[in-house]
Structure 1
Amino acid sequence: MKKLKIKNKNRIKKRGSSVRLGNIFGRHVKFEFEDKDVESTMKTMVKEPHVHHVPVMTGGIGYRNVYNFYKNDFVGKMPEDVKITRISRTVGRNQVVDELILSFTHDIEIKSMIPGIQPTGKYVELPHVVVMKFRGNKIAHEHVYWDQASLLTQIGILDQSNLPITGIEQSQKLKELSTR
């Protein structure tokens, strides 16, 4: 009997930890995209975090660089109609991984994703994977992945007719599969 109770307590503790990390992740994203508040976003992170947008190597290492990236290139620097649709979330002991679709109209320059590319007015739906590593109750790092060829196809920079790449079909298929 005692072993069962201890096991249940551990399970509850793990579940609570998972919920807590997921909630911190959620607050962080809310501060980035809804509140557009760099200060609050940074409060969810350790003293020396890093952010790495893998396809274009934007982001920063260390508090000052991450702060400057958020302030100058990311927080409040996305199209007004940006929307995040979560497909799945995996929560571990000290890491949260979200699979999501970011959708928006490319009506402003997006330095964090397609630096130097002027607005095209094209609608984009782009699958992302976001990996957040935690130290205690704070985010230590954020690694963000997406298919840059798909993004460039959707805004009309790449022609998919003669390349083995896809555009918006990626997110459409992902949404279809996530309902199965």
Structure 2
Amino acid sequence: MSIDAANLIKAAVPEAEGRNVRIISQNVSDHRDPNFLSKDFPRQPPKLYLTAESDEFDAITIAEWQAEGFDVEYLPMGNGGDEYLQKLRGLRGNEMGSFETFGIVAYGDAAAMCLEHYHVMDNNPDFKLKLLIAYYPTAIPDPKGHFPSNISALVHLIAGEDVGVTKQSQMIGIQGKRRTTHKTIQPGIGTGGLLRLAYPGYTYQAQPGFAEHDLDEYDTICADLAWSRSLAAARKAFGQTVDLEQIWEENLQGKFFTHSLNPTMASYTTHRSPHVTYIPTLTGGIGADELQEFYSQYFGNPKSLKLTLLSRTIGADRIVDEIHVRFKHTQEMPWILPGVPATQKRVQVLVVSIVTMRGGKLYHEHVYWDQASVLFQIGALDPDVIPEAARKIGIKKLPIVGSAAASRVLKGWDPEQEGEADNDLISGWHDGEGKSEEG
């Protein structure tokens, strides 16, 4: 979308013609920033180029970016070299308006070339490239150097893989000597794989190609984790805000409160096969037909069921709820106590629900809780009754608790008890309580 700023000003303020004026915004000072214009200003979808070595690319990945509201175009690397660099230079051509920007998601050798090219500040002179995501590049810029601050960069690397590291000094208009060494990518910090680089980078225990659905190297866990990070980076770079909470609330209303399947089923994606798993019992459904059957025939709940939301965390493509659940077990509940007839016992338990979204709809949901606590509360599990196999290894009491865990978190921090934990199950913890420090 091209905007003729001069004519806009002339029409709005005729007396300004012939004078020097400056365009300002209530949001930000830089007119190149995607947030410069009002949120109500009509916009085109952000332009996103996917680029890799092959002539064709993974159709699922392209469709997923499109479902998230991006105008996606595939740019094959071809023979690489100067021919490919010319393609990259052409992306900032005159067909883009003054206010339009774009992003690049690159893979393999193409990712290496994009990183090397845009690491040089002069190669993005008009600041139209806002985002550069590199998947398993075969070479990376100096991890101790600086990447241009006007580009949001994100790099996904393979732990244990050898990559080229390019060091090149540069000043505005001047490029210094270029030196490339080879290093092995070490695993990142903790389980998250975060690396301490000059630009955001993460490592994955996978093979190059792990994010491409049409390759044998595709790894669901690593691909989904990288996708979440990539989508968050893209949303931030282009100033996008997406309301994931509303569609999730509609799903919950239909399941637990209105008992209407229409809003529940309408909240699931049709782009991919959705699934729901209640992890401790492995109940739920895969695909729209199974979910329809599960929620219509096997998700009955007693009228006493009450849900209390304790916390909600919302990311770029997922929602995590911490919920206090209480009910009187007056009927069979196949999702939490399948095959167990009504016991008339009262139960309260903490439930964690992790919902992943695709294109603004629910893709999958994993629900977790402490099943031992539930069985304890209905009288199906006694911590003092020890199986013979457990006795042989020295267990004298099963380390489980009942409703206390859920009730304490619901009530919050108690100054008299100094928190929820009491360590009653840890042998020796309370020995010597009440003694002075000197004693």
Please, what TM-score do these two structures have when normalized by structure 1? 0.88
Asked if structure 1 preserves the Cα contact closer than 8 Å seen for 2:34 and 2:239, the reply is: no
What is the CA-CA distance between 1:72 and the residue it aligns to? 1.1
- Please, which of 3, 21, 30 is the counterpart of residue 2 of structure 1? 30
Question: By percentage of residues, which structure has more helix?
Answer: 1
The residue number in structure 1 matching 2:298 is: 73
2:121 is the counterpart of 1:121 = no
SS of residue matched to 1:173 = helix
The residue number in structure 2 matching 1:84 is: 307
Q: Distance in 1 between matches of 2:350 and 2:239?
A: 32
The residue number in structure 2 matching 1:46 is: 269
What is the CA-CA distance between 1:178 and the residue it aligns to? 6.5
- Please, which of 391, 395, 398 is the counterpart of residue 163 of structure 1? 398
Asked if structure 2 preserves the Cα contact closer than 8 Å seen for 1:103 and 1:126, the reply is: yes
Question: By percentage of residues, which structure has more strand?
Answer: 1
The residue number in structure 2 matching 1:64 is: 289
Paired residues, what number? 175
What is the CA-CA distance between 1:176 and the residue it aligns to? 3.3
Q: Distance in 2 between matches of 1:58 and 1:178?
A: 34
Q: Distance in 2 between matches of 1:177 and 1:80?
A: 26
Over 3 Å counting, the alpha-carbon distance change for 1:147 and 1:2 in structure 2 is same
Please, what TM-score do these two structures have when normalized by structure 2? 0.38
What is the CA-CA distance between 1:4 and the residue it aligns to? 10
Q: Distance in 2 between matches of 1:43 and 1:178?
A: 39
Over 3 Å counting, the alpha-carbon distance change for 1:13 and 1:109 in structure 2 is farther
Q: Which amino acid aligns with 2:249?
A: G
SS of residue matched to 2:304 = coil
What is the CA-CA distance between 1:3 and the residue it aligns to? 7.4
- Please, which of 96, 99, 107 is the counterpart of residue 330 of structure 2? 107
Asked if structure 2 preserves the Cα contact closer than 8 Å seen for 1:87 and 1:178, the reply is: no
Over 3 Å counting, the alpha-carbon distance change for 1:178 and 1:100 in structure 2 is farther
The residue number in structure 1 matching 2:370 is: 147
What is the CA-CA distance between 1:6 and the residue it aligns to? 4.6
SS of residue matched to 1:45 = coil
Per-residue CA deviations over 1:4-62 (Å, capped at 9, x if unaligned) read 96568777955x42xx2112111110111111012221000012210000001000111
SS of residue matched to 1:60 = strand
Q: Distance in 1 between matches of 2:381 and 2:275?
A: 30
Asked if structure 2 preserves the Cα contact closer than 8 Å seen for 1:60 and 1:69, the reply is: yes
SS of residue matched to 1:46 = coil
Q: Distance in 1 between matches of 2:313 and 2:366?
A: 15
Q: Distance in 1 between matches of 2:383 and 2:289?
A: 39
Q: Which runs of 4+ in 1 moved over 4 A?
A: 3-14
Over 3 Å counting, the alpha-carbon distance change for 1:165 and 1:3 in structure 2 is farther
Q: CA RMSD of the aligned region, Å?
A: 2.4
What is the CA-CA distance between 1:103 and the residue it aligns to? 0.8
What is the CA-CA distance between 1:79 and the residue it aligns to? 0.7
Structure 2 residue ranges without an equivalent (≥5): 1-28, 40-234, 385-396, 420-439
Per-residue CA deviations over 1:63-86 (Å, capped at 9, x if unaligned) read 111111111111xx0011111101
Point out which structure has higher relative CO (alpha carbons under 8 A, 6+ apart): 1
Q: Distance in 2 between matches of 1:38 and 1:13?
A: 34
Asked if structure 2 preserves the Cα contact closer than 8 Å seen for 1:86 and 1:98, the reply is: yes
Structure 1 residue ranges without an equivalent (≥5): none
Q: Percent identity?
A: 34
Asked if structure 2 preserves the Cα contact closer than 8 Å seen for 1:52 and 1:59, the reply is: yes
2:250 is the counterpart of 1:21 = no
